[in-house]
Structure 1
Amino acid sequence: MMIWAGIVMVLITIYFLVKRYDARLVLLASGIIMASVAGTPMEAFAAFSKSMTNSGLIQAVCSVMGFAMVMRYTKCDKHLINLMANGLSKFRPLLIPGVVLGTFAINIALPSAAGTAAAAGAIFVPLMMGAGIHPAMAAAAVKCGTYGSMLNPGLAHNPFVAKIAGVDVMDVIAFQYKANITSLIVAAVLITLIAYYRKEHKGYTAEGLEIEGSFKVNVLYACMPILPILILILGSSGVVPAFKMDVPAAMIIGSILALLATRTNPVNLTNAFFDGMGKAYADILGIIIAAGVFVSGLTSMGLVKTFISAMIDNPAIVKICAAMGPFLLGFITGSGDAATFAFNEAVTPHAVDFGMTSLQMGSMSTLGGTLGRTISPIAGATIIVAGIAGVNPMEVTKRNGLPIVFAMIAGMIVLAM
């Protein structure tokens, strides 16, 4: 009876997530109710306390979002995007795949999908439309690249998986980067082929959207967003041992270098950094905390134990569940975070029982949830690029759906090897 009651609660939770109620409220309420029904209400509050003081996650996520706000304040992100746009505009046949790759690269430095969609979309969508590309295809190309954040150590899922696996966050990125790049290439090639098949690669015009032709790019400013990532990669790979440091140190150094390069007001820049940290805790870590409470409710009602037992008895479905579960929920709800955090919290610690490593299962779940969100018509980033292009969000999903599905299949094959 308790298991069936838990299943009903999970379905209700999914319903409210699909209806786009605040994910934190839904997960918190669901977790507390399930724990209370199971007779252990304090387990939910204990999970809340444990999740809200997770130092590794707080350091990585908050510092990266603080740096992202500094890039926005100094307008260095705008210089980077315009620099890439200027280069792409000179190679029209490579414009669509170039925009996918360019957006992906920007999303590595600026880990917010919605923020990348707004910043990159404002430049790339008009650029492609001006070249005759269909507005919906232009928006879909940008949206295809909005999962580059998986290669950013500050993406909340990376330190989360690193903590479960007992490794450094850069080890997580080193493990999954081949799958990410493979999926990216598949997505870029397929969406280009679809554009040619639909004859949407040329011949379309639109009024009212123009690039800032007078914008003068400062190459030094454009380099600022990628410096912390470059420092972390060079340090963790051993190429420059002196650069080996944790994520917060790299982000602070990047902010200092941006201050020196742009010579902006240091007080305002500092305020921007801490505003970004606060927003990261509220918007990103808030979901992680709520997911921890939700999982405590699932555990109290015996659902986690039942789910794990079912997978132990049927190990062939584990790899499918790790990818497809977060992928489908990411597509349905428009956010891959809630499903991915819940899966990794509940199942990934037991990965060894299924013949997998925590690193492998956690990476599968993260990629699945991220790609599911990438094709969701109700995701914030989809709505943003569709709005810039002046099309319905479903038109974007129709065009990037197939490329992203095949991108997921390719990525999972690499991770499973």
Structure 2
Amino acid sequence: MIALIIAIAVTVIAATLIIKRYQPHTVLLLSGLTLFAATALFFPEQSVIFRKTDPTGWTGFDIFEHIHGIMSYRLAGLGLIIMAAGGFAKYMDHIGATNAMVDISIKPLSRIHAPYLVLAIGYAVGQVLNIFIPSAAGLAMLLLVTLYPTLVRLGVSKAAAAAMIGTTSVLDLGPASGTANLAANTANIDVAIFFTQYQIPLAAFIIPTICVLTYFSAKYFDSRDGHVVVAGHSAPVGTMDPEPVAQSAPGFYALLPILPLTMILIFSKLFIAHIEISVVTAMIMGALLGLFCEMIRLRHDLREVFKGFMVFFKGMGTMFSGIISLIICAEFFAGGLKAIGAIDFMIVTAESAGFGLVGMMFVACILVAVTAILTGSGNAAFFSFANLAPQLTASSSAGAVSLLLPLQFTAGIARSLSPVSGVIIAVSEVAGCSPIDIVKRTAIPLGGALIVLFTYNVLFLSAS
């Protein structure tokens, strides 16, 4: 209980400082350090980190070795995705490709005369794309390159566009999703069956709900903030701090920003299953194709073209200093919560609650949501609680899937309600606002999604 009190106190202090706009990197790093130090001093026997087979030899150094481990892991995976996408976005801005794409796409979209309708539809499109691009951060960065500038040019505020993009992967749909595979394996069913018979019917209710609430929520917050919808003039198009943009880029340059997304979709289980292209690979190929186009277009000044490609690498560095470092600090803080036993306490509480299946579903979903919001990771939250489902539903005819499905969806939804989530951090950085501002905007659509989720599952369990 003392460990839980320490964890809650540190979390409340950290949240308060972040809300008061203290530098979140430093707040999370020091908060994580405090939790690890408290664990090392008072509860060393309960932390896996201090019982590793290859420690440094002293507990104090093991704490910082853990930061090293997080950096190595994140830079090789999520961090590289975000950096490559950020560098690609910067280079597309630099050569004028983003502006070319927007200039073409703005014409038919502007005829709708309903920018918030386009915003709402954008969520549904993004959620469908999530089936083929299971990386939440990767999909968000692709949409920030393609859809975000178009929405901003139509007149939607930067924060509204970014918040919508931050919700596009909340359901983790499809056989490529890690949480969907874990849920299917835990329920002892094929992942394709889990997707078609369980995920899709529930998603058919949640997706329209989020679309409708995104429409009204965005209008409300933009109106409250004094945003005036003026198509084509509301904000700069570039998704990053813009470099000098090449003038009069050819019209076909509009295809360059969507090339990585197109390649990822084509070389997937949707079309060509035996070839697979990762987000990072697609971004590198897209940036190099842009370079080759510039070499042909500006062949009289190759020195400047070669120099201009440094924008790609500078963009990667910018993403590391602003976003990746914050994700690393957030994960270190989450590791501190796990080390001191706060997460284990929640799991034990779920096991010993003793409620009926419906009550157990609510308790488990609340614990998963709290874990996801605190850690910024839907995977961490779901992986922590998924193994409880078979034993909690052993006496029910509904089966483990009746608890696994709401847990999986709750974990993804709560991830986009967390100000320390990698996706929320990324979109807030692009929009030039705080993660808290983005979370305020996602709260209404995702709150509605949770209501629909719980209602659907209560009816499902009642009918079982």
Which TM-score applies when normalising by structure 2?
0.61
- 1:46 corresponds to 2:65: yes
Instruction: Give the whole-Å Cα distance in 1 for the aligned partners of 2:329 and 2:457.
Output: 28
- The DSSP-based 3-state class of the residue aligned with 1:20 is coil
C-alpha change, 1:161 and 1:284, in structure 2 (3 Å) is farther
- 1:85 corresponds to 2:106: yes
Structure 1 contact 295–346 (Cα < 8 Å) conserved: no
C-alpha change, 1:345 and 1:372, in structure 2 (3 Å) is closer
Aligned to 1:319: 365
1:191-222 superposed Cα distances (whole Å, 9 cap, x missing partner): 5578999xx9xxx988897479xx98855222
Aligned to 1:332: none
- 1:98 corresponds to 2:98: no
1:93-145 superposed Cα distances (whole Å, 9 cap, x missing partner): x54312443588699876289888983454121xx7xxxxxxxxx67864553
Give the deviation of 1:187 after TM superposition. Answer: 3.6
Residue 111 of structure 1: which of 141, 159, 162 is its match?
A: 141
Aligned to 1:273: 312
- 1:406 corresponds to 2:425: no
Structure 2 contact 351–388 (Cα < 8 Å) conserved: yes
Give the number of the structure whose alpha-carbon radius of gyration is greater. 2
Unaligned runs of 5+ residues in structure 2 are 42-58, 127-136, 186-190, 237-246, 299-303, 354-359, 391-399
Aligned to 2:7: 6
Aligned to 1:124: 154
1:12-50 superposed Cα distances (whole Å, 9 cap, x missing partner): 122222222222211211111122122254443232111
Give the deviation of 1:269 after TM superposition. Answer: 4.6
Residue 257 of structure 2: which of 225, 243, 246 is its match?
A: 225
- 1:258 corresponds to 2:259: no
Identity %: 20
What number of residue pairs does the alignment pair up?
369
Instruction: Give the whole-Å Cα distance in 2 for the aligned partners of 1:196 and 1:33.
Output: 41
Range that drifts further, 140-149 or 6-15: 140-149
Aligned to 1:335: none
Structure 2 contact 14–31 (Cα < 8 Å) conserved: yes
1:164-184 superposed Cα distances (whole Å, 9 cap, x missing partner): 99x9xxx9xx97996889755
Structure 2 contact 35–337 (Cα < 8 Å) conserved: yes
Aligned to 1:237: 269
Give the deviation of 1:52 after TM superposition. Answer: 0.7
1:286-308 superposed Cα distances (whole Å, 9 cap, x missing partner): 23322332233223322222122
Residue 186 of structure 1: which of 191, 196, 209 is its match?
A: 209
1:224-250 superposed Cα distances (whole Å, 9 cap, x missing partner): 222112212222215124641233221
Structure 1 contact 62–276 (Cα < 8 Å) conserved: yes
Aligned to 1:297: 336
Residue 11 of structure 1 aligns with an amino acid whose one-letter code is V
Instruction: Give the whole-Å Cα distance in 2 for the aligned partners of 1:282 and 1:163.
Output: 33
1:164-183 equivalences in 2 (<5 Å): none
1:203-214 equivalences in 2 (<5 Å): 210=233
Give the deviation of 1:386 after TM superposition. Answer: 11
Unaligned runs of 5+ residues in structure 1 are 129-137, 330-337, 388-392
Give the deviation of 1:363 after TM superposition. Answer: 6.0
1:339-390 superposed Cα distances (whole Å, 9 cap, x missing partner): 413x6446634522345799985664343232566xxxx9997899799xxx
C-alpha change, 1:309 and 1:102, in structure 2 (3 Å) is closer
1:35-73 superposed Cα distances (whole Å, 9 cap, x missing partner): 212225444323211111112334333222222222222
After superposition, the CA RMSD in angstroms is 5.1
Instruction: Give the whole-Å Cα distance in 2 for the aligned partners of 1:73 and 1:300.
Output: 45
Instruction: Give the whole-Å Cα distance in 1 for the aligned partners of 2:263 and 2:456.
Output: 27
Residue 209 of structure 2 aligns with an amino acid whose one-letter code is V
Give the deviation of 1:405 after TM superposition. Answer: 3.0
Aligned to 1:69: 90
- The DSSP-based 3-state class of the residue aligned with 1:65 is helix
C-alpha change, 1:303 and 1:187, in structure 2 (3 Å) is closer
Instruction: Give the whole-Å Cα distance in 2 for the aligned partners of 1:64 and 1:205.
Output: 30
Range that drifts further, 315-324 or 296-305: 315-324
Structure 2 contact 291–309 (Cα < 8 Å) conserved: no
Instruction: Give the whole-Å Cα distance in 1 for the aligned partners of 2:418 and 2:431.
Output: 17
Range that drifts further, 43-52 or 355-364: 355-364
Range that drifts further, 239-248 or 83-92: 239-248
Residue 288 of structure 1: which of 327, 338, 358 is its match?
A: 327
Residue 406 of structure 1 aligns with an amino acid whose one-letter code is G
C-alpha change, 1:61 and 1:319, in structure 2 (3 Å) is same
Structure 1 contact 323–368 (Cα < 8 Å) conserved: yes
C-alpha change, 1:22 and 1:385, in structure 2 (3 Å) is closer
Structure 1 contact 220–261 (Cα < 8 Å) conserved: no
- The DSSP-based 3-state class of the residue aligned with 2:111 is coil
C-alpha change, 1:255 and 1:102, in structure 2 (3 Å) is same
Which TM-score applies when normalising by structure 1?
0.67
Q: Between Structure 1 and Structure 2, which shows a larger proportion of helix residues? A: 1
Instruction: Give the whole-Å Cα distance in 2 for the aligned partners of 1:252 and 1:62.
Output: 11
Residue 259 of structure 1 aligns with an amino acid whose one-letter code is L
Instruction: Give the whole-Å Cα distance in 1 for the aligned partners of 2:251 and 2:102.
Output: 11
Residue 300 of structure 1 aligns with an amino acid whose one-letter code is A
Structure 2 contact 179–408 (Cα < 8 Å) conserved: yes
